[in-house]
């Protein structure tokens, strides 16, 4: 079925620094509302680039997020137009047809008459890359693009999310959690309900299903799909957005001064480990009870999230079947149909989360949330070929820059994955045609944040400062090349 029905897509722009000939800097909103991205245009990388290049900055809200829903209900049929292919087509169409009331210029601001530079981070980073792959290059619609932490290689199960934490987090904390999780799985494997319920009771979570218990105690690290509070991913060099709860979690788990009533819990399940204590189990359980359980303030812990109460139950099919348009459902649909990235325990070796948290745990939500419709049904498993057809680890296009953080939990889905080919820049020509940068020690999209604009780049941490000056040079070079075409 096809038709010519249209919908409104929300966007915001800032022309404060624009001068004719400057680039049009399009920040892709990704999996959230447009206003959620305002800091990037007020103090972050878009503000920096607007000042450095006399550019016009834009935030474009993704279809099915914020106020840009094509339908009033998010049914399986209505969500059929939420695809990466449609999203990147939006970007190209917008570049050709957008209007900017109040902005005067002696040249058209639309592509291809002005140099349009796309910028996106994370999911939007991959969309920036795919937009350039499809609509970029010489003679294309989009002149250039920057993919920051762009997750261009889709996989169904993404246990690699936990790899940087295993390697880089405080090792007494990591070792404690690995050991406790190994013992938790040992108890699950017994099938002894009395022992399992006793174990969950130490966390005051005996009412939860086993899988929901395993997910809830992983929240401080990063539980599958969505979590309350902050995790390792939310750490940031920028104090205005940094959320350091992960360090607080590790300090508590490894607290050498904990009281006897807490440390004695280390022996509560020793019957399952031949009399050996579960080192730091008491600290872990106490942190969960005091810092995580209160997120579910007024309802039983096994209730599904409701309003301001982030409760921990996920096995209510009615909750997932809710067809009201909400961003979490839009993102789940994309996960279920195309990108996967189900956070799951590794098949072998030490693990920070229980092995009961496998891909089937997330896949069940897909079945409940998206029953077959008249015109659309979801695949039994995410069709990651829809994403990987663009190139996976090797999405390349002239004037497409890839910039990633070496400590990012999403690195192994990005251009600089540890599984990707070695990335070396051969000469100055390739440095501008196919720019790439891996920032040592950086996390997710860290180069996108700023301290107020161009003048303050010099006081950011050295590794961020270097990356942002690099981005400025790249964009300035691209803009000069655009105008040199007509000379």
List the one residue out of 101, 111, 117 whose CA is nearest residue 55: 117
CB 450 within 8 A of CB 458: no
Helix (H, G, I), strand (E, B), or coil: what is residue 455?
helix
- Residues with a known catalytic role: 122, 408
Helices H, strands E: what count in the chain? 17, 9
CB 33 within 8 A of CB 61: yes
Helix (H, G, I), strand (E, B), or coil: what is residue 54?
coil
What percentage of the chain's residues is helix, strand, coil (to nearest 5)? 45, 10, 50
List the one residue out of 283, 290, 217 whose CA is nearest residue 254: 283
Residue 487 has pLDDT above 60, yes or no: no
Helix (H, G, I), strand (E, B), or coil: what is residue 264?
helix
Residue 1 has pLDDT above 70, yes or no: no
**For the whole model, what pTM was predicted?**
0.96
In which band, very low, low, confident or very high, does the pLDDT at 305 lie, cut at 50, 70 and 90?
A: confident
Q: What is the pLDDT of residues 7-22, one digit of tens each?
A: 999 999 999 999 999 9
CB 311 within 8 A of CB 216: no
d(CA 369, CA 363): 10
pLDDT attached to residue 281: 99
**Strand order across the 144-148 sheet:** 11-14, 56-60, 24-28, 116-121, 144-148, 400-405, 436-439
Q: What is the pLDDT of residues 431-464, one digit of tens each?
A: 999 999 999 999 999 999 999 999 999 999 999 9
Going along the chain from its start, the domains and CATH numbers come out as: 11-153+390-484 (3.40.50.1820), 156-369 (no CATH)
- CB-based contacts of 367, cutoff 8 Å, min separation 6: none
Mean pLDDT for 249-270 is 98
């Amino acid at each position: 079925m096809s038709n010519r029905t249209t919908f409104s897509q929300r966007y915001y722009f800032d022309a404060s620094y624009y001068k004719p000939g400057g680039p049009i800097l399009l920040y892709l909103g990704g999996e959230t509302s447009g206003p959620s991205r305002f800091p990037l245009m007020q103090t972050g990388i878009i503000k920096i680039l607007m000042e450095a290049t006399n550019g016009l900055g834009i935030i474009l809200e993704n279809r099915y997020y914020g106020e840009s829903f094509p339908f009033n209900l998010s049914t399986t049929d209505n969500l059929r137009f939420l695809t990466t292919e449609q999203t990147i087509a939006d970007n190209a169409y917008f570049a050709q047809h957008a209007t900017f009331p109040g902005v005067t210029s002696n040249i058209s601001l639309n592509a291809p008459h002005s140099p349009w530079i796309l910028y996106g981070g994370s999911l939007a980073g991959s969309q920036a890359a795919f937009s350039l792959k499809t609509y970029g290059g010489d003679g294309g619609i989009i002149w250039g693009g920057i993919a920051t932490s762009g997750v261009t290689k889709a996989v169904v199960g993404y246990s690699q999310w936990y790899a940087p934490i295993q390697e880089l987090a405080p090792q007494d904390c990591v070792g404690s959690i690995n050991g406790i999780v190994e013992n938790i799985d040992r108890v699950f494997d017994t099938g002894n309900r009395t022992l399992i319920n006793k174990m969950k009771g130490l966390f005051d979570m005996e009412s939860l299903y086993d899988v929901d218990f395993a997910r809830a105690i992983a929240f401080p690290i990063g539980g599958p799909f969505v979590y309350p509070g902050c995790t390792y991913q939310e750490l940031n060099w920028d104090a205005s957005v940094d959320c350091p709860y992960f360090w607080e979690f590790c300090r508590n788990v490894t607290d050498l001064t904990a009281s006897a009533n807490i440390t004695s819990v280390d022996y509560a399940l020793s019957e399952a480990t031949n009399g050996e204590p579960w080192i730091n189990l008491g600290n872990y359980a106490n942190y969960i009870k005091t810092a995580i359980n209160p997120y579910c303030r007024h309802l039983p812990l096994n209730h599904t999230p409701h309003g301001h109460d982030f409760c921990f139950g996920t096995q209510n099919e009615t909750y997932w079947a809710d067809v009201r348009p909400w961003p979490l459902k839009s993102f789940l649909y994309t996960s279920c149909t195309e990108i996967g990235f189900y956070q799951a325990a590794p098949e072998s070796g030490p693990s920070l989360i229980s092995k009961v948290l496998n891909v089937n745990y997330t896949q069940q939500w897909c079945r409940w949330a998206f029953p077959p419709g008249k015109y659309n049904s979801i695949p039994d498993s995410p069709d990651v070929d829809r994403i990987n057809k663009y190139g996976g680890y090797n999405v390349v296009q002239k004037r497409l820059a890839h910039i990633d953080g070496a400590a990012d939990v999403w690195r192994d889905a990005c251009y600089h994955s540890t599984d990707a080919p070695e990335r070396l820049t051969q000469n100055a020509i390739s440095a501008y045609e196919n720019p790439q940068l891996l920032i040592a020690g950086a996390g997710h999209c860290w180069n996108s944040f700023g301290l107020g604009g161009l003048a303050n780049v010099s006081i950011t941490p050295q590794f961020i400062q270097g990356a942002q000056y690099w981005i400025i040079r790249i964009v300035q070079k691209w803009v000069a090349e655009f105008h040199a075409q007509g000379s």
